[in-house]
């Protein structure tokens, strides 16, 4: 029997496999637009465990499974035994004997690691406090779709050193670009993620320095899910970290603006930027569907590999 592959962070796939997932996602998107029916996952079920809220992740995984000919099952802690304290190890052994693939959105990253350890089937991280790798598949797909090869280019992160920022840092190393990250003091990314991606990440305090000549500018909410109590303190700490038209003007002329959404206008991003001509946030959201279909197909049927170009 082949070894089960999981997707708990981008590090679970090689650079060649990640590029191949993006190629495949672009193909699957074209097939949907042509009206092709492609159902390789008939009779397959995806269990979707959500311990936090979601719009994009739930809709994209559920629709993706339908399009691939399978089924998606929504499981919330409010009406499963997971929410009443059944151990993760037991839940993983039971659920993975019945379904073909599992997707989990939760708080502690160690929960998805433990689930994967006891699971017979692939486990996908659909956001933890540490990483949001599915978001980065869609983000890299969007960047490549809009501008081609990202190797040697520069992305600029403005805001919290959070789960999405950590995944952008991993992406910088694996996809071969550079990430400038501007975070306020006290809100830097985790040291272990910084160390692993050291050669591909430069830290700044001043957002205007970080975005200079960037090809892509990215931000995210100042207070992630689970940080609701910190909102007031964060409003003060992040006051100078809004992506405004003036900030965008410092990046390259045709730089893209990206945001995983949900967005808070007037906080991390100005309305004129998210609604402006450089914003690709709606394509980015749609691409969750196509990128995750390529991921699920790869985990269940095997990944292709793509020859990766070296940086200039
Ligand atoms: N970007 C993202 O993961 O959105 P949801 O929280 O709506 O799933
Ligand atoms: N950093 C945000 C991303 C939401 C998709 C959060 O964790 O809430």
Ligand nearest to the CA of 55: 1
Query: What is the crossing angle of helices 163-175 and 133-147, to 10°?
Result: 50
Considering the chain, what percentage of its residues have pLDDT values greater than 90? 96
Q: Is residue 225 within 6 Å of ligand 1 at its C-beta?
A: no
- 199: which DSSP letter? G
Q: What is the pLDDT of residues 28-85, one digit of tens each?
A: 999 999 999 999 999 999 999 999 999 999 999 999 999 999 999 999 999 999 999 9
Q: Is residue 260 within 6 Å of ligand 1 at its C-beta?
A: yes
State the catalytic residue, choosing from 160, 215, 260, 292. 260
What integer best gives the mean pLDDT of the chain?
A: 97
Catalytic: 147? no
Q: Per-residue confidence of the chain (312 residues) as pLDDT tens digits?
A: 568 999 999 999 999 999 999 999 999 999 999 999 999 999 999 999 999 999 999 999 999 999 999 999 999 999 999 999 999 999 999 999 999 999 999 999 999 999 999 999 999 999 999 999 999 999 999 999 999 999 999 999 999 999 999 999 999 999 999 999 999 999 999 999 999 999 999 999 999 999 999 999 999 999 999 999 999 999 999 999 999 999 999 999 999 999 999 999 999 999 999 999 999 999 999 999 999 999 999 999 999 988 887 655
Q: What is the pLDDT of residues 217-241, one digit of tens each?
A: 999 999 999 999 999 999 999 999 9
User: CB–CB of 81/108 below 8 Å?
Assistant: no
Distance from Cα 254 to the centre of ligand 2, integer Å: 26
Q: Is residue 54 within 6 Å of ligand 1 at its C-beta?
A: yes
Indicate which residue's Cα is closest to atom 1 of ligand 2.
224
Catalytic: 135? yes
Q: Burial level of 169, CB count in 10 A (0-12/13-18/19+)? A: buried
Q: Report pTM.
A: 0.97
Catalytic: 58? no
Q: Is residue 162 within 6 Å of ligand 2 at its C-beta?
A: yes
State the catalytic residue, choosing from 56, 132, 166, 259. 132
Question: Which domains are seen in the chain, by residue range?
Answer: 10-131+287-300 (3.40.50.1370), 135-284 (3.40.50.1370)
């Amino acid at each position: 029997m082949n070894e089960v592959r999981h997707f708990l962070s981008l590090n679970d796939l090689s650079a060649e496999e990640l590029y191949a997932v993006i190629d495949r996602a672009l193909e699957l998107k074209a097939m949907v637009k042509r009206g092709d029916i492609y159902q390789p996952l008939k009779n397959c079920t995806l269990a979707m465990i959500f311990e936090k809220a979601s719009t994009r992740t739930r809709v994209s995984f559920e629709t993706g499974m339908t399009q691939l000919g399978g089924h998606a099952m929504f499981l919330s802690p409010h009406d499963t035994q997971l929410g009443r304290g059944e151990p993760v190890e037991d839940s993983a052994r039971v659920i993975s004997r019945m379904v073909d693939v599992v997707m989990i959105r939760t708080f502690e990253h160690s929960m998805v690691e433990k689930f994967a350890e006891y699971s017979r089937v692939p486990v996908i991280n659909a956001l933890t406090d540490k990483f949001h790798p599915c978001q980065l598949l869609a983000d890299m797909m969007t960047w490549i779709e809009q501008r081609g090869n990202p190797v040697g280019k520069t992305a600029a992160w403005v805001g919290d050193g959070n789960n999405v920022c950590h995944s952008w840092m991993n992406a910088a190393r694996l996809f071969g670009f550079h990430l400038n990250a501007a975070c306020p003091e006290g809100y830097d990314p985790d040291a272990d993620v910084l160390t692993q991606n050291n050669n591909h990440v430069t830290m700044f305090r001043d957002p205007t320095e970080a975005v200079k000549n960037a090809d892509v500018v990215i931000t995210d909410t100042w207070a992630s899910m689970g940080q609701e109590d910190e909102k007031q303190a964060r409003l003060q700490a992040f006051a100078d970290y809004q992506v405004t038209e003036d900030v965008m003007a410092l990046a390259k002329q045709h730089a893209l603006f990206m945001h995983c959404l949900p967005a808070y206008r007037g906080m991390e991003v100005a309305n004129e930027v998210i609604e402006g001509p450089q914003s690709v946030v709606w394509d980015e959201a749609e691409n969750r569907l196509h990128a995750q279909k390529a991921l699920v197909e790869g985990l269940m049927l095997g990944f292709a590999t793509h020859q990766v170009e070296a940086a200039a």
